[in-house]
Structure 1
């Protein structure tokens, strides 16, 4: 993330403790592998016991649990694979395990979209393997790798396979979002030097990632069911992770991939408690009344502490920056921590709890900066390419549009733009006929906002 100027370089110590993969070696054992194995083991420790308990009365319960174990085992294989053809074998094995789990758990409605998109990703990856082994078509091979990663990460138009997985039991969703979907990120991070050598592939990766981020944010802001919102937020998160990779920030992409996988799998496993939590919140005492000055002080403190911690680690431990991509990432991460800190401080029932929440978020911001910078020593560096200026422009435009979406959704929900956004977002991931029908209905009633809001509400509740 940042370069070090001190002789006591913690990244050098981490690099010395890692064993980089040798050319032609079947397995890779380095810091990237270690981080990914932590993700897989953590998810397995949570998902497999949960599946064993929750599926005990299901006639396919044992088979689904075995398939989940195979999904996670093949993801670990994917992290350990050295050459591209070995990675392809692990990739296809994880596809088979995923389709078995979707078919047993969700039937045809979950299996069919997954089979179409996941097999298409396999075809793209193996075509890249063949071209790479022949030593021809570097641009074509890199572009095929990008396509395979985008399809596995459920970027549009492939988000329907991840939405269809909602028909499967909760443990399947947790394993998908914590492991299988991350396969696209693993592919890009491990093969980033090859992808970065191609201007076309790098720009395509940035465009697909930016579009996925926009679609995921728009849809997750509108979706009303808990698991559906989690699915579409995963689309947005995968888009952001791949956008970091396109900018050459492989270490930041790896940190985001691991953190999101652990966090999202835990959210899926606890999604069934959402109704109980909402009921508890309604019965809870009213929020502490604050004066305008007190509310401003809380918001400012909650936002400032995480940002200061992030900046302190970046400047004190890692003096100097390498360029615009790192600065852009820090701005985005700082804004995210500031928003979370201000909200947590404002909702805290007491001043002491507000201070504790701000301190915890500050520790999280410092840990993020430290982890990303340490891992940058063991992640294959992305060479500076002629595509970087274009990728930076794409990233800036994407983030500006994300902010615009939030503003429209928050302050102008009944404007023409707001209603169009909701109509589009409600159709994301739905069957094509239903999506076209929804758009036609919304366009026919665009001059009567009340009737359109009624139809959107009815569609969301159904």
Structure 2
């Protein structure tokens, strides 16, 4: 395919950042303020190019172009090129926007720091790597960009290497990332050997007429993709490092939680031609996400540190995202990815001012138990709003039965909102206001899902009809988990004395799972003292 304006812009988006970050290390360290200005200019230029890509390509047919191809014996070739579809355009704009905002924030945050220039250089290289991952048209190039993203982020996490907490967290992430890297590389080899192509366009073409179960090599590749995605998204029990990287500067936390940790979900979405036929591997992904969501949601309620609470929230949201992907709801997972990235970037960059919100007076919840009729009103009202919104936007659960589960989860969330209004029932206008907000939540959820589905439907491979018939027990189990979380949250407020204190202590410490994982890692792979770099 010939080079078009949109494919050229997509190619230049990471190239601008690679060029800006390629300054010799000594020169970058000596020119801190100049490096900060260069970083901002390059990041906003990349965002402008991403907008050109989105406007030029829109959500039309996928375009693929390879500028340079190096043959790799036995399983394909390493191609330097671009694969541009609706998913690429959306992700390119999202990550470049978050990157531009983070670099602007970092310019003030890091001003005067002795390592200012070094920080901005590694920030540029990290952004360049993840944007390369997004536009990569070749599986092997994708894997190399995946590894480069992790290694450059590692340098940012160790920006203050003299801090023991930063060393331990970065070491744990380094170990998990290397396992994920090896898993992804083996998956790429298996796919290339089986399909004789490593191009995403070739992958879609090879799987276009596929029926039935996957061959053994592709099934193993799907399991390895699940492992790699789970490790990248900090899923339970390998989540501890995500909670302990707060020793790094705040812009690093924002970029990590709003962009890089989402790469696991993006990997599953990008690999939909294979994952949709993987059966048990996709079910395992959904189970991993569900377990992580439950644990992180409960632990998050007990945290006293704003940034640690946000980190647990990220782990829970990643679990929810992988649950959606595991159910085959790829467009919904993509919508979740976009919403979470924008929210979490703002949350981390504004975490300092969040203290003022906690100091402000808050309404006291009524201590009386809610009456059964109040629970009935809340759930009936939430269910009615969800059904009307789904019908208004033509959501068809017959085509994707897993949407029934998604609708039930929205119903539980809106019911929680209405229950809170009923508990604060002293103000007459509170329940109507909560009802209006709940209706807007339902309309926004199903409306945006429909919009994303229309935008990227041709770029994703949906689950086969037989696989899409979600089992009744599975669906009921997922819904029961969310209802259970709602009940536990309400019951926990009623507990007092030693029982509440014991539960809170155990949850506050994350059920001690990460302690065991940390001991195992430090015993098998002891961390080396990091060197301080000026």
TM-score over 0.5 for the alignment?
yes
Task: Report the Cα offset of residue 356 of structure 1.
Answer: 6.0
Secondary structure of 2:149's aligned partner:
helix
Name 1:133's counterpart in structure 2. 192
**What corresponds to 1:236 in structure 2?**
316
Distance 1:395 1:239 in 2: 16
Distance 2:193 2:290 in 1: 32
Select the structure of larger CA radius of gyration. Answer: 2
Q: What SS does structure 2 have at the residue aligned with 1:244?
A: helix
Partner of residue 411, structure 2: 334
| Partner Cα separation in structure 2 for residue 39 and residue 349 of structure 1 | 42
In structure 2, relative to structure 1, the CA distance for the partners of 1:59 and 1:202 (3 Å cut) is: same
What displacement does 1:343 show?
A: 3.8
**1:401-430: CA deviations, max 9, x gaps?**
344345345425568699457515514574
CA distance in 2, matches of 1:349, 1:381: 51
Choose which of 97, 101, 104 in structure 1 pairs with 2:159. 104
| Residue of 309, 313, 317 corresponding to 2:393 | 317
The answer on whether the counterparts of 1:75 and 1:180 sit within 8 Å (CA) in structure 2 is: yes
The 1-side partners of 2:182 and 2:148 are apart by 13
**Count of residues in Structure 1 that have an aligned counterpart in Structure 2:** 415
Matched, 1:54 2:131: no
Which residue of the partner structure matches residue 277 of structure 2? 197
Q: Which residue of 2 aligns with 1:114?
A: 173
Deviations 1:97-144 (A, max 9, x none): 211110114641332112111122111111111111111711111111
- Does the aligned pair in 2 maintain the 1:344–1:354 contact within 8 Å? yes
What TM-score comes out, normalization by structure 1 length? 0.78
- Distance, in Å, in 1 between the alignment partners of 2:281 and 2:312 is 25
Residue 59 (structure 2) pairs with residue 18 (structure 1): yes
Indicate how the Cα distance of structure 1 residues 404 and 435 shifts in structure 2: closer, same or farther if over 3 A, else same: farther
Q: How does the TM-score come out when normalised to structure 2?
A: 0.68
Are the aligned partners of 1:55 and 1:62 in contact in 2 as well (CA < 8 Å)? no
Give the deviation of 1:181 after TM superposition.
Answer: 0.4
Quote the Cα distance in structure 2 between the aligned partners of 1:262 and 1:157.
26
Q: Distance in 2 between matches of 1:344 and 1:78?
A: 44
Name the CA shift for 1:39/1:113 in 2 (closer, same or farther; >3 Å): same
In the alignment, is the contact (CA less than 8 A) between 1:408 and 1:418 conserved in 2? no
Alpha-carbon distance in 1 for matches of 2:320, 2:514 = 23
- C-alpha distance in 2 between matches for 1:389 and 1:425: 38
Deviations 1:205-237 (A, max 9, x none): 122212211221122122222111111111111
Gaps of 5+ in 2: 1-54, 67-80, 195-215, 521-534
Structure possessing the higher relative contact order (Cα contacts under 8 Å, 6 or more residues apart): 1
Cα pair 1:208 1:239 within 8 Å, conserved: yes
Q: Structure 2: how far apart are the matches of 1:92 and 1:300?
A: 51
Q: 1:402 to 1:314 in 2, by over 3 A?
A: closer
Residue pairs, 1:174-185, within 5 angstroms: 174-185=254-265
Gaps of 5+ in 1: 1-13, 437-462
1:384-423 correspondence to structure 2 within 5 Å: 384=464, 393-394=473-474, 396-412=476-492, 413=495, 419=502, 422-423=505-506
CA contact (8 A) 1:113 1:161 kept: yes
